[in-house]
Structure 1
Amino acid sequence: MSKFNVRKTLFGSGIIAGKETKAAGKYSNFELLRRVTLTNLLFESNYYQSADEIMTQMESLAHKVSGSQLVELALECRFEQKLRHTPLWLLILANEIHGAPVKDALAKVANRPDMTMDVLQMLKVRNGSFKMSKSIKKGLAKAFNNYDAYQIAKYKKNNLEVSLVDVVNLVHPKPTEANEQALKDLVRNELQPANTWEVALSAGADKKETFERMIAEKSLGSLAILRNLRNMIEAEIPRMTIKDAISQVNSPWLTPLNFLAAQRNAPEFTADIDEAMKRTFAQEKIKGTTILVIDVSGSMGALTSQNSKFSRMDLAFAMAATGSYIFEDMILVFTAGSDQRRKGEHMVWTNSSGLGIFQDASSIVAKLGGGGIFTYQLCEWLKEKCYSQVADRLVVISDSQDIDAYYGDAKTPDTTPYNTSYIIDISSHTHGIKTNNWTAEINGWSDKVFHYIKELEKPRANPFTLN
Structure 2
Amino acid sequence: MKINTKPMDHRIDKTARLAGGYGPYVAKQGAEALLRRSVLACLLWEKNAYEDGGSVADNIKSLIPRVEPEKVFDIAIEARNKQKLRHVPLFIAREMARLESHKYLVGKLLPEVIKRADELTEFMALYWQDGKQPISKQVKVGLSKAFDRFDEYQFAKYNRNEAIKLRDVLFMVHPDPGQKADLFKRLADNELATPDTWEVALSAGKDKKESWTRLIEENKIGALAFLRKLRNMEQAGVNRATIQKGFDSINPRWLLPLNYFAAARKAPGWEREIESLMLNGFSQAPKLPGYTIFIVDVSGSMGSNISLKSTFDRLDAAMAMALIASETCEHISIYATAGNDGTRIHATTKIKPRRGFALCEEIENAKGHLGGGGIFTRQCLEYIKEQEPEMPDRIIIFSDSQDCDYPDRQIPNPFGEKNYIVDVSSNSRGINYQELWTAEISGWSEHFLEYIFACEGLDLQDIER
TM exceeding 0.5:
yes
Query: Quick one: percent identity of the two aligned structures?
Result: 38
TM-score, length basis structure 1:
0.89
Report the secondary structure of 1:173's partner residue: coil
Q: Residues of 2 paired with 1:263 and 1:130: CA distance?
A: 46
Counterpart for residue 238 of structure 1: 239
Cα distance in 2 for partners of 1:232, 1:398 equals 37
Equivalence for 1:104: 108
Residue among 423, 426, 429 paired with 1:428: 426
Match of 1:455 in 2: 454
Tell me: CA distance 1:9–1:358, structure 2 relative to 1, closer, same or farther (3 Å). Answer: closer
| Higher mean C-alpha displacement, 380-389 vs 136-145 | 380-389
Contact 1:336 1:368 in 2 (8 A): yes
Residues 1:444 and 2:446 are matched in the alignment: no
Aligned position for 1:145: 148
- Shift of residue 222 of structure 1? 0.9
Whole-angstrom CA distance in 2 between matches of 1:11 and 1:70: 24
Secondary structure at the residue paired with 1:60? helix
> Given that residues 41 and 443 in structure 2 are in contact (C-alpha distance below 8 angstroms), is that contact kept between their aligned partners in structure 1?
yes
Q: Spell out the pairing of 1:329-368 with structure 2 (5 A cutoff).
A: 329-350=331-352, 352-368=354-370
Matches of 1:219 and 1:130 in 2, distance apart?
A: 40
SS in 1 for 2:431: coil
- Please identify, of 27-36 and 65-74, the stretch whose mean Cα deviation from structure 2 is larger: 65-74
User: Residue 422 of structure 1 aligns to a residue in which SS?
Assistant: strand
* Aligned equivalent of 1:465: none
What's the counterpart of residue 292 of structure 1?
294
Any residues of structure 2 matched to 1:118-129 within 5 Å, and which? 118-126=122-130, 128-129=131-132
Give per-residue Cα distances to partners, 1:302-359, cap 9 Å, x unaligned. 2223333221111111111222232232212111222333322222222532233333
Give, in angstroms, the shift of residue 111 of structure 1: 2.0
8 A Cα contact 1:25 1:432, kept in partner: yes
Q: Secondary structure at the match of 1:201?
A: helix
Aligned equivalent of 2:187: 186
Deviations 1:169-191 (A, max 9, x none): 111112354x4543232222221
Amino acid across the alignment from 1:121: A
Report the CA distance shift for 1:145/1:325 in structure 2 as closer, same or farther (over 3 A): farther
- Tell whether the 8 Å contact from 2:45 to 2:54 is kept in structure 1 after alignment: yes
Unaligned residue ranges in structure 1 (runs of 5+)? 1-6, 461-467
Alignment of 1:264-343 (within 5 A): 264-281=265-282, 282-343=284-345
Q: Contact (CA 8 Å) 1:320, 1:354: kept in 2 or not? A: no
For residues 62-101 of structure 1, the aligned pairs below 5 Å read: 62-98=64-100, 99-101=102-104
Output the amino acid matched with 1:375. T
1:388 to partner: Cα distance: 4.2
Deviation at 1:94, TM superposition (A): 0.9
Task: Please say if residues 22 and 408 of structure 1, whose CA atoms lie closer than 8 Å, have aligned partners that are also in contact.
Answer: yes
Instruction: Map 1:191-206 to 2 at 5 A.
Output: 191-206=192-207
Q: SS state of the match for residue 25, structure 2?
A: coil
What is the CA–CA distance in structure 2 between the aligned matches of 1:172 and 1:288, rounded to whole Å?
55
1:17 aligns with 2:19: yes
Q: Judge which range, 70-79 or 229-238, deviates more.
A: 229-238
Q: How many residues align?
A: 447
Match in the other structure for 1:113: 117
Assess if the C-alpha contact under 8 Å between 1:247 and 1:272 holds in 2: no
Q: Distance in 2 between matches of 1:387 and 1:214?
A: 55
- 1:210 maps to 211
Question: How big is the shift at 1:10?
Answer: 8.5
CA distance in 2, matches of 1:62, 1:20: 28
Contact 1:15–1:430 at 8 Å: present in 2 too? no
Distance 1:160 1:285 in 2: 47
- For residues 70 and 279 of structure 1, do their structure 2 counterparts lie closer, same or farther at Cα, with a shift above 3 Å needed? same
Give runs of ≥4 in structure 1 deviating > 4 Å. Answer: 7-13
Residue in 1 that maps onto 2:463: none
| 203-212 or 336-345, which deviates more | 336-345
How far the C-alpha of 1:145 sits from its partner, in A, is 2.4
Task: Return the alpha-carbon distance in structure 1 between the equivalents of residues 298 and 49 of structure 2.
Answer: 16
User: Is contact 1:335–1:347 with CA below 8 Å preserved after alignment?
Assistant: yes
The CA deviation at 1:78 is 0.7
Displacement of 1:387: 5.0
When normalised by structure 2's length, the TM-score is 0.89
* Counterpart residue type for residue 429 of structure 1: N
Which amino acid in the other structure matches residue 45 of structure 2?
A: F
Question: Quick one: distance in 2 between partners of 1:394 and 1:161?
Answer: 49
Contact 1:303 1:310 in 2 (8 A): yes
Q: CA deviation at 1:13?
A: 4.7
The 1:273/1:8 distance shift into structure 2, 3 A limit, reads farther
Q: Which moved more, 1:230-239 or 1:106-115?
A: 230-239
1:78/1:225 CA distance change after superposition, 3 Å: same
SS in 2 for 1:250: coil
- Aligned counterpart, 2:6: none
Runs (5+) with no aligned partner, structure 2: 1-8, 460-465
| Structure 1 stretch displaced more, 418-427 or 334-343 | 334-343
After superposing the two structures, state which structure 1 stretch, 445-454 or 249-258, moved more: 249-258
| 1:348-393 CA-partner distances (Å, limit 9, x unpaired) | 222532233333444211232232222222222222222543x321
The equivalences for 1:338-417 within 5 A come to 338-350=340-352, 352-389=354-391, 391-404=392-405, 407-416=406-415
Tell me the CA shift for residue 97 of structure 1: 2.2
Q: Which amino acid aligns with 1:35?
A: R
User: Quick one: distance in 1 between partners of 2:17 and 2:408?
Assistant: 18
Cα distance in 1 between the residues matched to 2:163 and 2:14: 39
Query: More displaced, 87-96 or 345-354?
Result: 345-354
AA aligned to 2:440 is E
Paired with 1:9 and 1:402, the residues of 2 have a C-alpha distance of: 16
In 2, Cα distance between the equivalents of 1:137 and 1:103?
Answer: 7
Residues 8 and 225 (structure 1), Cα distance of their counterparts in 2 relative to 1, 3 Å cut: farther
Change (3 A) 1:453 1:360: same
Q: Give the corresponding residue for 1:135.
A: 138
